[in-house]
Amino acid sequence: MSAESPSRPVPGATAAAGRERVAAAMTAAAAAWLGSLTPEQVAVAQYGSPLTPGAEAERLKWFYTPTDHGGLAIRDLTPRQESLAMQLVASGLSEAGFATVATVMGLENILDQVEGWQVSWGRQRGRDPGLFWLRLFGRPGDPVWAWRFGGHHISLNNLIVAGRVVSTTPCFMGADPAETALLGGSLRPLHGLEHGARQLVSSLGARQRRRALLHERAVSDIVSGNRVTVAPGDTMMHMQDLWRGQFADPSLADLVDDIDRRAEEGSGYTERDHAALAISLSPKGLSARDMDADQRAGLRQLLALYTGRAPEALADAYAAHYATESVLDEVHFGWAGSTDVGEPHYYRVQGPRLLIEYDNTQRGANHAHSVWRDLTSDFGLDILAEHRARSAH
């Protein structure tokens, strides 16, 4: 499947031009950031090309836990270097997407206070808004290059081939706390993702809701976890498997075990329950073809909150893709848990290429995770395989 295949969610000449504009902005921003670094920093920030096995293996490692995501940390940059780094991050997001990422980064200060400034994760400061890592793979402007930005509750993964952005997934955004009191209001970075889905499930009739209901109780995390690829039969990954390597400090391993134990006890899930929510080739839940016009519009709006993370040129192409009635017909929506505000819940949106997951279950249903994935082209693996095949001839 080529980058121009009409079956891709971003088809057509207009979308191709948009991908070129976004790639050009990324290339300029990445080159400017790289040019600001010292040789010692470059050695950490820049990895090999995605075309080399070692670098590709590192590129495919992604996380949403407060582990080392790999690359150069924001806290280790000068103010000017940090500004240039954030300009690269912004080049891969819509305006609203960048605002959400910046807010989630700042939440680390609030989470530190919520936890009594006590969690260390083996560092001087366990919750640190400076611990978000940026890494390039290859050189900006190469025929194939990529970049990754991530830290606690953020993972952005972008691949550029032949001067066009060909992949922006997996794309993860979380929030802990999901809601924080402000003077005269509250801060809810992922509120739209939760509110839109709850509106949709609440609009369903009794028969529709029975079909949409995946489980009476919510699973305690997204099911796809941080796998490189998602396959039928995959069940929820446990906390211990979501980190880079193993903890040298037994107390940290015990802490992770305890977090996982409490999460499982909170959900009440057994192996049988996890199997019921396993990823399946045939999407679970209610098909859009069985929704009325208002419900279909609500589903499109929910989709746009995920695909709208991408720069506007790409987001517009996704919106046009899902505006096609036959395309939307193949999308399914499923819900697990309570529909009451403040209660643990999980939902999934799945289509032939698409997987979206959202959960808000932990910390008294005030700790949210959301992910947008392409089931056949996360990390642009299909396009990269084609590029390698063409280059071999």
Domain closes at, from 123, 140, 169: 169
DSSP labels for 86-125? Answer: HHHHHHTS-HHHHHHHHHHHHHHHHHHHHTTT---TTSS-
CA 110 to chain centroid = 21
pLDDT by residue (tens digit) across 202-238? Answer: 999 999 999 999 999 999 999 999 999 999 999 999 9
**Alpha-carbon Rg of the chain, whole angstroms?**
20
Give the count of beta carbons closer than 10 Å to the beta carbon of residue 241: 12
Whether pLDDT at 11 is above 80? no
Angle at 98 between CA 92 and CA 102, to 5 degrees: 130
381 within domain boundaries: no
Q: What is the mean pLDDT of residues 12-29?
A: 89
**Residue 259 domain flag:** yes
pLDDT band at 5 (very low <50, low <70, confident <90, very high): very low
Contacts of 199 (CB under 8 A, 6+ apart): 298
Same domain, 106 and 191: no
106: containing domain: 1-169
- For the segment 376-382, the average pLDDT, to the nearest whole number, is 96
The Cα–Cα gap between 2 and 302 comes to 28
Domain assignment present for 384: no
Of the residues 169, 202, 225, which one is the last residue of a structural domain? Answer: 169
DSSP assigned state of 379: G
Mean pLDDT over 364-368 rounds to: 97
What stretches of the chain show up as alpha helix (H) in DSSP? Answer: 12-36, 39-45, 53-59, 79-91, 95-114, 191-202, 206-212, 250-267, 271-276, 293-307, 312-323, 325-329, 362-365, 381-392
Q: What average pLDDT is seen over the chain?
A: 95
Reduced 3-state DSSP string for 349-377: EECCCEEEEEEECHHHHCCEEEEEEECCC
Name residue, tokens 């611990």.
131
User: Is residue 196 domain-shared with residue 71, that is, in the same domain?
Assistant: no
Q: Say whether pTM exceeds 0.85.
A: yes
Q: Do 241 and 358 lie in a common domain?
A: yes
The two tokens of residue 16 are 């191709």
**Which pairing describes strands 354-360 and 345-350: parallel, antiparallel, or unpaired?**
antiparallel
Q: Is 390 part of any domain?
A: no
pLDDT given for residue 248 in this prediction: 86
Does residue 16 share a domain with residue 70? yes
User: 105 and 234: one domain?
Assistant: no
d(CA 235, CA 231): 9
Letter for the amino acid at 253? A
Do residues 362 and 251 both lie within one domain?
Answer: yes
Q: Which of 126, 144, 169 corresponds to the end of one domain?
A: 169
Q: Quick check: 6 pLDDT over 50?
A: no
* Residue 232: count of CB within 10 angstroms of its CB: 9
Local structure of 79: helix, strand or coil: helix
Please give the Cα distance from 360 to 341 (Å, whole number): 11
* Residue 363 maps to a domain: yes
Burial of 132 (0-12, 13-18, 19+ CB in 10 A): buried
275 within domain boundaries: yes
- The verdict on residue 388 lying in a domain is no
* Encoded tokens for 130: 């400076």
Same-domain check for residues 145 and 261: no
Positive or negative torsion for Cα 322, 382, 334, 192: negative
Does residue 142 share a domain with residue 224? no
With a cut of 80, say whether residue 107 has pLDDT above it. yes
Q: Give residue 7's pLDDT band: very low, low, confident or very high (50, 70, 90).
A: very low
Structure token digits, residue 365: 């249903």
Find tokens 């470059």 and name the residue. Answer: 42
Q: Does residue 228 sit in the same domain as residue 348?
A: yes
14 pLDDT band, cuts 50/70/90, is low
In a domain, 43, yes or no: yes
Same domain, 6 and 147: yes
Structure tokens at 53: 């096995």
Mean pLDDT of 330-341: 98
227 and 144 in a common domain: no
Chain centroid to CA 144: 22
Q: How far apart are CA 298 and CA 304, in angstroms?
A: 10
Q: Which residues contact 67 (CB under 8 A, 6 or more apart)?
A: 121, 242, 243, 244
pLDDT band (50, 70, 90) for residue 246: confident
**What is the number of domains present in the chain?**
2
H or E element: which one contains 81?
helix 79-91
Residue 15, C-beta contacts closer than 8 angstroms, at least 6 positions apart: 313, 314, 317
Residue 106 and residue 164 share a domain: yes
